[in-house]
Structure 1
Amino acid sequence: MSGPYHVPLPSIRALRIFESAVRHLSFSAAAEECHTTQPAVSRTIADLERRLSVRLFERDHRIIRLTEAGEIFHRSVAIGMERIAAGVIAASSIPEGQRVVVACGHGTSHLFVMPRFEALRRALGEDICLRILTLDYDMLDRMDDSEVDLMLIFEKNSDASEDMVAVFNEAITPVCSPGFAATHTQILDRPVAEWSSMPFLRLARSAQCWATWHDWFESAGYPEPLPRYTGIEDYVYLLEAVISGQGLALGWRHFIDHHIDSGALVTVSDSFVELDRGCFARFTKRGRLRPVAHQCLDAFVGLAGEPPRLVSCMS
């Protein structure tokens, strides 16, 4: 999101106390309204002034009035509080039957869900509110799912339980940036067995049964000697490293398609290696009983059905 939101903001409590003090022009009245004490209000205002490096109030014995800086700050605070209140009312007014919550890992959210988010919303209809809850993959199996309808997880096909529905099958292919491919054309044109000098990037720890370079080498052959790898903790950051030209990495079908389409990535193979794993949607107890969750799953499966277009540097 663009804008000044990287600036550390005061707490809502501090802003409420400031707004109340302005409205009453009295720290004592603000303390009564905010269920605190007058000294606590004075400390809160003093903390705000230190944070902003300006005086917000002129104090003359028991009489207070806003400074010019205080008036500017109050106009923004008042507008902000009104918008927050309106947002609370609008969000809480959405009927439960029109809200669906999907939990998934960071990579799945960023690379699969978000590029398709608008299409998902159109498929669900404007009356349904779709919320994506992003967690570390390791936390998905341990989270309290009482407020979640669907969970997107990776699992071996043979281990998938009856309450899981396949969204897409896992398939991998090596990818790199166009510039990297141009620089290393002579090596990439050789058999995989001669790629050992190439910089290989991989996940530092494989998350939720995700494939590894070993899975791809099983199909394409192994470099000799085996390459050294640079490990990166998160797949989103790993792809950013690849796009910047730092090496080769595995690309997951349905995760790399928008990067392929934009020209940020090319493949170094003309096909995907299909694996006995996939992305599955698992209904929670809550979601299993809700038609809107089933509608959301149908939309996911429909959007995953179209395979990405390969752009290979080998062609």
Structure 2
Amino acid sequence: MHVLITGAAGFLGQRLTAALLDRGELNGRALTRLTLVDQIAPVPPAHDDITLDCRAMDITRAGALDSLLGERPEVIYHLAAVVSAAAEADLDLGMAVNFDATRALLEGCRAAGLAETRLVMASSVAVYGGELPTVLDDMTALTPQSSYGAQKAMCELLINDYSRRGLVDGCVLRLPTIVVRPGRPNAAASSFASSILREPLNGEAAVCPVPTDLELFVMSPGRVIEALLHAATLPSDSLAPYRSVMLPGLTVSVAAMLEVLREVGGEEALARVSHEPDPRIEAIVTSWPARFETQRAERLGFVGDRDFHEIVRTFVAEREAS
């Protein structure tokens, strides 16, 4: 099996690559080739049984992916994106990467005749916003309140339509806020949700830019990777007629997150978090809903985290093992 990953040098792309190499198969078939694309060439570990094709590529360039699509990958993970705050700050960049490149990818699949290729795209809770019901589900109307959310929503609709037409076999995963991300903060508006845990547990200071009564819908990195792998295995008829799935996250307030930080890291860890309101960040993240009914995702076999303690304990265990 040939798998193509865009955004392969990013956080999720690296984790997904490692998981695929570790498994050596997908959907019961041996993985023979893994093509990794990003602005800088990804550098995964060598593997004896799987051909690794790592390319530096600007996917916003016309026809950039056409030669790779001509090699007929059987699964495409489309993870390349400009994150929320960056897309809000630069409309042209967000449109080029998040929307135009996705449309070009779909047109490339159409031209190459990849009707049976499973295209898995990472979307976001940012496709929702504004006046919403208390609890949302997959069929709640998309009303994004940010450019990032609008770009992801447009991509979702396109993938659904191209799948309806039989031009590609799409599956869109709406990702909760991913916590706890390792590494350093990025330009995502939700970056603080990891920082207020990761940095204090690493002995560093962190800033909380939002009110502590704010609720977030969250999921651990490990569960997100499991979901991406699982999405490639789902029968097409189980996804139709609507190809977008909200993953089963946890609803947790910032205050509850900080309480878990105190329980795991002690009072000294909690004391490393300062509270400095940032209206720009708050305006974006408070537009995101925090409560979802995810029975459809669970029926499809997606699995969420048991509780927030499990998320933080897993992060600590992985940090100590690295």
TM-score of the superposed pair, with normalisation by structure 2? 0.29
Q: Which structure has the larger Rg over C-alpha atoms?
A: 1
TM-score of the superposed pair, with normalisation by structure 1? 0.30
